[in-house]
């Protein structure tokens, strides 16, 4: 479990946070034909990575806390977030690991402190263009960087499970949530949209079947053709319809 710099300053005041409740964020980065995950590497524990996460202030909404954590990690404001699950296995974190993290940052803790107890975590995912992100390491981190979804490093706690659940939810809801992610330019071709789907779902589509499916959803508005100067037939461009 990681902390933001703002949280580190207030860690000693137990009433500042909702105790034993945390947030873990799965930040997917999309660009071209790659799907990556933003992961901090812990400084005091060998070869271990975690999800960007943090705690919730007593007077803070959980959505606001997730936005705060993502802004500190990515430098981006108003990122589209989707809450996808709650994780609360009794053995999902260990007091020994948390104690080592705290003491590595000169934070004294003792057995029985709330920070060493069992935590329930609320999972959020976001999908961003990773060329717009400036990864920022937290107070407990050695680095913070992008990793290929198919080649993830060693993850602490149950964070592998959380990432997999986030991906499954993203894939399941992609048709209905795509408008909110702003991953494509305002006007895009059907080929560009298909590449995005194929990357996230990790499977190919027949061009005619894909186009038929997307048009049937009623979320696209067809615009002018995209002339590139090439001899081939110019494709139409599309944009997402505005939703209430």
Angle at 44 (CA atoms; ends 22, 126), nearest 5 degrees: 40
May I ask the CATH class of domain 188-240? mainly alpha
Q: What is the per-residue pLDDT across 41-56, written as a single tens digit (0 to 9) for each?
A: 988 778 899 999 999 9
150 HSE (CA, 13 A, CB side):
7
- The pLDDT confidence band at residue 11, using thresholds 50, 70 and 90, is low
Strand 34-42 to 141-148 pairing: antiparallel
Q: What is the pTM of this model?
A: 0.84
Architecture of domain 5-181: Alpha-Beta Complex (3.90)
Cα 87 from Cα 25, distance rounded (Å): 12
- The pLDDT confidence band at residue 165, using thresholds 50, 70 and 90, is very high
Q: What is the per-residue pLDDT across 92-146, written as a single tens digit (0 to 9) for each?
A: 776 777 777 776 666 676 666 777 788 899 999 998 888 888 899 887 889 999 9
* Residue 1 CA, distance from chain mean position: 15
Domain boundaries, the chain: 5-181, 188-240
Integer-rounded Cα radius of gyration of the chain: 20
């Amino acid at each position: 479990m990681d902390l933001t710099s703002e949280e580190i300053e207030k860690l000693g005041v137990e009433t500042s946070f909702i105790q034993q409740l945390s947030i873990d964020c799965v930040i997917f980065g999309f660009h071209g034909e790659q799907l990556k995950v933003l992961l901090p590497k812990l400084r005091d524990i060998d070869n271990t990575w975690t999800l960007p996460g943090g705690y919730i202030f007593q007077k803070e909404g959980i959505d606001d806390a997730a936005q705060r954590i993502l802004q500190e990690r990515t430098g981006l404001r108003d990122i589209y977030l989707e809450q996808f699950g709650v994780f609360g296995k009794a053995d999902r974190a260990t007091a020994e690991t948390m104690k080592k993290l705290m003491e590595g940052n000169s934070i004294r803790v003792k057995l029985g402190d709330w920070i060493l107890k069992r935590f329930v975590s609320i999972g959020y995912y976001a999908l961003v263009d990773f060329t717009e992100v400036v990864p920022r390491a937290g107070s407990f981190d050695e680095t913070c960087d992008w990793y290929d979804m198919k080649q993830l490093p060693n993850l602490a706690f149950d964070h592998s499970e959380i990432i997999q659940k986030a991906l499954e939810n993203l894939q399941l809801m992609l048709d209905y949530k795509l408008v909110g992610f702003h991953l494509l330019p305002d006007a895009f071709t059907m080929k560009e949209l298909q590449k995005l789907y194929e990357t996230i779902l990790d499977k190919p589509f027949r061009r005619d079947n894909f186009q038929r499916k997307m048009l049937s959803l009623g979320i696209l508005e067809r615009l002018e053709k995209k002339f590139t100067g090439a001899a081939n037939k110019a494709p139409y461009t599309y944009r997402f319809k505005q939703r209430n």
